[in-house]
Amino acid sequence: MKVLVVGSGGRDHAIAWKFSTSPRVSRVYVAHGNAGIAGTAQCVNIKTIEEMADFAQKERIDLTFVGPEKPLSAGITDLFQSRGLAIIGPDSKASRLESSKCDAKTMMRELSIPVPEFENFSDPQKARDYVRNVGYPVVVKADGLAAGKGSLVCDTVEQAEEAIRQIMEDRAFGDAGQRVDIEKRLYGRELSFFCFTDGYTLVPMVAAQDYKRARENDEGKNTGGMGSYSPHPWLDDALIKTIMSRVAEPLIAGLREKYSIVYRGILYLGLMLVESQNEVVPYVLEINIRLGDPEAQVILPRLRTDLVDICEAIVAGDLKKIKPEWDPDYRLCLIATSGMTKGKKGWYKGYPDRYKIGLPIEGVDRIDPDCLVFHSGTEIDSSGRLVTTGGRVLCIVSAASTLEGARQKALAEMEKVAFEGIYYRKDIGLQ
C-alpha cells in the first residue's frame, strides 16, 4: 500500500520511518518533508491541503497520516473524507481542542473534566484586572496555535501583566493572541498522555517524559521540546486507570454526546497530576490533536504492532480489536538546536529566540547505526551541503535496557555532530 505523511519535522520523520518498516507498505510519501526525511521517504513539494488531496487522489494513496496541528485545524481531514480518502487525524470541529485553548477549557469545564481555575479574555485591560485580583500565580496562554511556545508561566503579578502585553498587544504569537486563557498555576508532576481513538474506543499508548524548558534544570523559556524518553518513570496501571476514567473516556464520550464531535485519531493530554486528599487528580493543562514532538520519536520506536493495522482500525471504527505490543527497552531522544551565534548586527540568542539558519552540519554520517536520527530543520543547499533551517535541527534516538545507558549513548553520539552554535540539554534522562 501507499502512505502519505503530512509534515516536515522530527515527529513527522519518525512517523514516516515507522511506516517504512511495515511489510504492508510499498511506498511512503511525505509532504513536504526535509533533508533527513528524504533519506527515508519520497518528499513531495506540496504545501496546501488542496494540493495534498489532489496528490492523494492522483497517486491512489491508501492512507494519509497527519503529523502537525495546522493542517488538521485547516480542515484537511474534512477535505480528504469528502473525497473518500482514508486519513488519520481529527476533523476541523474536533481540532478546536488544540487551535483554541479558550474553547477547549470551556468545553472541559462543562464536561466536568478536571481543569485549573481559569478565565478567558479578549480585552487586555480586563485580563490585567483579573491577574491583579486573583491572588495566586497564573499561567497566561495564547488562545491559538503558537508552536508550543504560547504558554507563559508567571510567578508574580508583574510577570503576568508582561505576558498579557506580549501576547495580546505586541502579538508575540500573531493572531494566536487575540484571546488569552489565564489559569491558576498548579504544582505537581507533569505528564504527556497519548491515546489512539476511533471516537468510541480509546487505546492508551506508552507514555514519554518530555522536557519543554530551553535550559538545563528546567530553566529558560518554553520550547516545542528539547528531548524526551520512554518508558515513563512513574506511570503505572493504577494511574493509567485514573487518567482514563477521569479524563480520556469522559472527554471522548462527552464530545460525541454533548457536542456531536466524533474524535478520531491521536489524543494527546497534557496533564498536571496533583495530590489532593490522598488521591491523585489529573488536571488537563492542554489538549493536542496529534502526536507530540519529541514524544513521538521515543514512542514509535517502541511500537511493535504495525502502525498500518492500528490506523485501519481507527478509520473503520474497529479499534476495540487492537491491543498494541510495546518494546520494554528505553528510548531517549536528544535534540540539537540552533544556539547562540554572532550575526552581522549582533548576537542571535538562539532557539526559542532568534537563530541563524543555513549553517553547515557535519558528523551525522558518523552516528552509530544502532541509533535513529530524525531531522527537524535541515535541507541540502545549492552546494550539496546539509545545513540548518530551523530552531530544532535534528535529534538522536538511542536504545538501551536502562535509562542511563540510553542517555550515555545519545550524549556520546551527539558529540559527533557539529554546526555553529549547536546546543542541546545534557540533563535529558537525569532523574
Q: Say yes or no: 308 and 406 in one domain.
A: no
3-state SS of 356-423 is CCCCECECHHHCCCCCEEEECCEEECCCCCEEECCCEEEEEEEEECCHHHHHHHHHHHHCCCECCCEE
Which residue's entry shows cell 481531514? 77
The answer to the question of residue 107 being in a domain is no
Number of residues in the chain: 431
The answer to the question of residue 301 being in a domain is yes
Looking at 321, 348, 366, the residue that finishes a domain is 321
What is residue 431's predicted lDDT score, i.e. its pLDDT? Answer: 66
* Helix, strand, coil distribution of the chain in percent, nearest 5: 35, 30, 35
- Summarised one tens digit per residue, pLDDT across range 337-351 is 999 999 888 899 999
The answer to the question of residue 392 being in a domain is yes
The answer to the question of residue 94 being in a domain is no
Q: Say yes or no: 194 and 309 in one domain.
A: yes
Specify the pairing of strand 392-400 against strand 330-338.
antiparallel
Number of structural domains, the chain? 4
According to DSSP, the residues that pair with 227 across neighbouring strands are 211, 334
Q: Say yes or no: 198 and 141 in one domain.
A: no
The answer to the question of residue 108 being in a domain is no
Distance CA 223, CA 360 (A): 23
Q: Say yes or no: 253 and 196 in one domain.
A: yes
Half-sphere exposure of 133 (CA within 13 A, CB side): 8
- Summarised one tens digit per residue, pLDDT across range 223-242 is 889 999 999 988 999 999 99
CATH number at residue 280: 3.30.470.20
CATH number at residue 20: 3.40.50.20
- What is this structure's pTM? 0.94
The helix/strand/coil state of 338 is strand
What is residue 93's predicted lDDT score, i.e. its pLDDT? Answer: 96
Q: Residue 231: is the preceding peptide bond cis (ω within 30°)?
A: yes
What is residue 222's predicted lDDT score, i.e. its pLDDT? Answer: 84
- Summarised one tens digit per residue, pLDDT across range 386-431 is 999 999 999 999 999 999 999 999 999 999 999 999 999 999 999 6
The answer to the question of residue 431 being in a domain is no
Q: Say yes or no: 334 and 419 in one domain.
A: yes
Q: Say yes or no: 227 and 292 in one domain.
A: yes
Looking at 162, 184, 206, the residue that finishes a domain is 184
The answer to the question of residue 105 being in a domain is no
Q: Say yes or no: 258 and 306 in one domain.
A: yes
What is residue 144's predicted lDDT score, i.e. its pLDDT? Answer: 94
Which domain range does residue 216 map to? 187-321
Q: Say yes or no: 375 and 403 in one domain.
A: yes
Q: Say yes or no: 311 and 272 in one domain.
A: yes
Q: Residue 32: is the preceding peptide bond cis (ω within 30°)?
A: yes
Q: Say yes or no: 315 and 195 in one domain.
A: yes
Question: What is the DSSP annotation of 36-84?
Answer: TGGGTSEE----SHHHHHHHHHHTT-SEEEE-SHHHHHTTHHHHHHHTT
Distance CA 266, CA 89 (A): 7
Q: Say yes or no: 307 and 355 in one domain.
A: no
Provide the residue-wise pLDDT of the chain in tens; the chain has 431 residues: 999 999 999 999 999 999 999 999 999 999 999 999 999 999 999 999 999 999 999 999 999 999 999 999 999 999 999 999 999 999 999 999 999 999 999 999 999 999 999 999 999 999 999 999 998 999 999 999 987 788 999 999 999 999 999 999 999 999 999 999 999 999 999 899 999 999 999 999 999 999 999 999 999 988 889 999 999 988 999 999 999 999 999 999 999 999 999 999 999 999 999 998 889 999 999 999 999 999 999 999 999 999 999 999 999 999 999 999 999 999 999 999 999 999 888 899 999 999 999 999 999 999 999 999 999 999 999 999 999 999 999 999 999 999 999 999 999 999 999 999 999 999 999 96
Question: What is the DSSP annotation of 145-210?
Answer: --TT--EEE-SSHHHHHHHHIIIIIS-TTGGGGGSEEEEEPP-SEEEEEEEEESSS-EEEPPPBEE
Q: Say yes or no: 195 and 313 in one domain.
A: yes
CATH number at residue 171: 3.30.1490.20
- Residue 386 near residue 353, CB atoms below 8 Å: no
According to DSSP, the residues that pair with 120 across neighbouring strands are 181
Which residue's entry shows cell 535550559? 215
The answer to the question of residue 395 being in a domain is yes
CATH number at residue 376: 3.90.600.10
Looking at 321, 344, 361, the residue that finishes a domain is 321
